[in-house]
Structure 1
Amino acid sequence: MKLSILDQSPISTGQTPQEALDASVDLARLGDELGYTRYWIAEHHDFSGLACPNPDVMLGIIGSHTERIRVGAGAVLLPHYKPFRVAETYNLLATLYPGRIDLGIGRAPGGSAEASMALSGNFLENVRQMPDKLDELLRFFRHDFAADDMYAKIRPTPVPEMPPQPWMLGTSEKSALAAAEKGLPYTFGKFMSDQDGPSIIKSYSEKFAEQHPDKTPEKIVTVSVICAETSEEARDLALSPLLWSIQRDKGEGDGKVPTVSEAKSYDYSDEEKEKLQNMKRNLIVGNPREVKQQLDQLQSEYQADEWMIVTITHSYEARKKSYELLAQEILSDS
């Protein structure tokens, strides 16, 4: 089983954005040492609890602090940007770090409507243009515009020997089928989707095989995991991100991940208790053996090529420990 890391750069109570970003670099270094396949960092805008609005900048730093692990965006939110600019940026990264750059592509806004307007104007119109933008981006990487196309004479320089690997990210069948149509590898965000993931992955694989019989579909599934030495410790650690989600939805607090003690002492309403139970269904929590068992069960349902792990805890050290324990349980024999 291959494992990878998705990092959202969460800011914990009592910590600064700089400390959160430093912790992200530290996590990427750890993933490199432990044998994780890739490290991706997410893009969010005007989000007080998440520290990274620009994966491109962070990847330039993270690449210089790692040696083997693939690094990439999870995802660049393409509706906000011109494809040529994205191609230039990721060609530059792929020139700096040959054979290690992934370009995850998403279409979510990554923030509020106001933030989207400030970034790129009419976001809904930009989403409507997403298929064309994606085609244009891929053509810039392949340099296969028609001779009479206005972009045929330009290149997104520098042109690396090994181009970045585009991935389509999504949480629905629509994104999966779009990835299959374009012949792109696909990452399904199970941790933020309530849809039938196994069916979505199956649809992707079938349509990919139908349209690209000479290629092999690649599938990553992303899940939320909190792993600790004991089940009880893992359940305690999980209280922080669960309360964080509730507070975000209610507009409470400062947007940062609360402590375990804050989560334990919080006065949950009956409605919030029910919501907690629902959220727990999409979260893998336990000791290393229990987490592996849950991942093995999911693997039997999804037949994924790789599992991407997102872990949010108040303690950055507990987060690192979670990834360490998981690597020891799953990657040590691979």
Structure 2
Amino acid sequence: MKLSILDQSPLSSGKTAAHALQASMELAQVGERLGYSRYWIAEHHDFSGLSCSAPEIMLGYIGANTKKIRIGAGAVLLPHYKPYKVAEVFNMLATLFPGRIDLGIGRAPGGSAEVTMALSDKYLQKVYQLPDAFKELLHFLKDDFPSDHMYSKISASPLPTESPQPWVLGTSAKSAKLAADNGTAYAFGHFMSDKDGPQIMKSYIENFNSSSNLLKPESIIAVSAICSETTEKAEQLALSGLLWKIQLAKGEGKKGVPTVEEAESYSYNEAELKMFQEMKSKMVIGNPKEVREQLTDLQKKYQANEMMVVTITHSYDDRLASYELIANECL
């Protein structure tokens, strides 16, 4: 099984953003040592408990402290930015770290309505225009605008020897269509979608157009997973992240991921308990053998090339241990 890491750089209660970002760098290093194929870090803005607002900065730091693992953004939220600037930034990263850079593109706002207004003007209009902006970005990455195009005489320099690999990240049929139409790789967020994921992935594969970016479909499924030596311990560790997500939905998650003890003593009301069960049903939780079986089953259902694991626990050490157990069992 080909495995990768998706990191949301979560803040744990009692820790600072500096602790969370340092833990993210250490996670990438451990992932490289364990044989994970790639490490992606997400973009969020003024989002309670998530520490990374600028993946491109973290990727420079992580790239300098790793040697071979592919690193990338999961994802750059393109409606907030001009394609030219995004291409410049990731061409710069690809120049510094040849053959290692992925550029994941998403359409989500990544924060509140106020954050969206602070980041960009006419956001909804830019979401509608995303297909055109994405095509423009691809041309900048390949430096191949037609000669009659207004941008044909400029380059998103520096031009690397190997361009960043573009990915579309999403949770809907629209994102799958965008990737298929443009012949790019596609990553589906199973852990954050209530859509028919396998059918969406099937539509991507069946409608894929070969391109200079990619000759055949390439896909990733992003899954929330927690592994421990025993099923009971894994279930216990999962409580922190589940409670934190419920607190976020209530606007109460600013202190970060709670401790296991706090999660065990929490009294859920009926609505919270329903939310808890719905979120848990999308997760992969168990001992190494159980996690491998669940990941293998999902990979078969989706016909995915690769599984990407996102793990949130209160303890950064427990998170590292989970990734290590999964790697030892699956890689």
**CA distance in 1 between partners of 2:59 and 2:121 (Å):** 26
Question: What fraction of aligned residue pairs are identical, expressed as a percent?
Answer: 61
Which letter does structure 1 place at the counterpart of 2:82?
Answer: K
**CA distance in 2 between partners of 1:44 and 1:158 (Å):** 27
Q: Aligned residue for 2:126? A: 126
**CA distance in 2 between partners of 1:87 and 1:253 (Å):** 34
**CA distance in 2 between partners of 1:187 and 1:265 (Å):** 36
**CA distance in 1 between partners of 2:296 and 2:94 (Å):** 33
- Per-residue Cα deviation, 1:118-172 (whole angstroms, up to 9, x for no partner): 0112210111111111111111112222222221111111100011000000001
Which letter does structure 2 place at the counterpart of 1:71?
Answer: I
Which letter does structure 2 place at the counterpart of 1:265?
Answer: S
**CA distance in 2 between partners of 1:292 and 1:79 (Å):** 37
Of the structure 1 ranges 317-326 and 124-133, higher mean CA displacement relative to structure 2 is found in 124-133
Which letter does structure 1 place at the counterpart of 2:14?
Answer: G
Q: 1:94-133, aligned counterparts within 5 Å?
A: 94-133=94-133
**CA distance in 1 between partners of 2:226 and 2:2 (Å):** 17
Q: 1:131-280, aligned counterparts within 5 Å?
A: 131-208=131-208, 211-212=209-210, 215-280=215-280
- Tell me if structure 2 keeps the 8 A contact 1:3–1:37: yes
**CA distance in 2 between partners of 1:162 and 1:254 (Å):** 40
TM-score with structure 2 setting the length: 0.98
- Tell me if structure 2 keeps the 8 A contact 1:248–1:255: no
SS for the counterpart of 1:150 is: coil
SS for the counterpart of 2:87 is: helix
SS for the counterpart of 1:72 is: strand
Q: 1:305-320, aligned counterparts within 5 Å?
A: 305-320=305-320
**CA distance in 2 between partners of 1:170 and 1:218 (Å):** 14
In structure 2, relative to structure 1, the CA distance for the partners of 1:97 and 1:253 (3 Å cut) is closer
Offset of residue 253 of structure 1: 4.5
- Per-residue Cα deviation, 1:148-205 (whole angstroms, up to 9, x for no partner): 2221111111100011000000001111011000000100000000111111111100
SS for the counterpart of 1:262 is: helix
Q: 1:3-82, aligned counterparts within 5 Å?
A: 3-82=3-82
How many pairs were matched up?
329
Offset of residue 18 of structure 1: 0.1
Q: 1:295-314, aligned counterparts within 5 Å?
A: 295-314=295-314
Q: Which runs of 5+ in 1 are unaligned?
A: none
**CA distance in 2 between partners of 1:199 and 1:231 (Å):** 30
4+ residue stretches of structure 1 with deviation over 6 A?
none
- Tell me if structure 2 keeps the 8 A contact 1:247–1:255: no
**CA distance in 1 between partners of 2:174 and 2:266 (Å):** 39
Which letter does structure 1 place at the counterpart of 2:290?
Answer: E
TM-score with structure 1 setting the length: 0.97
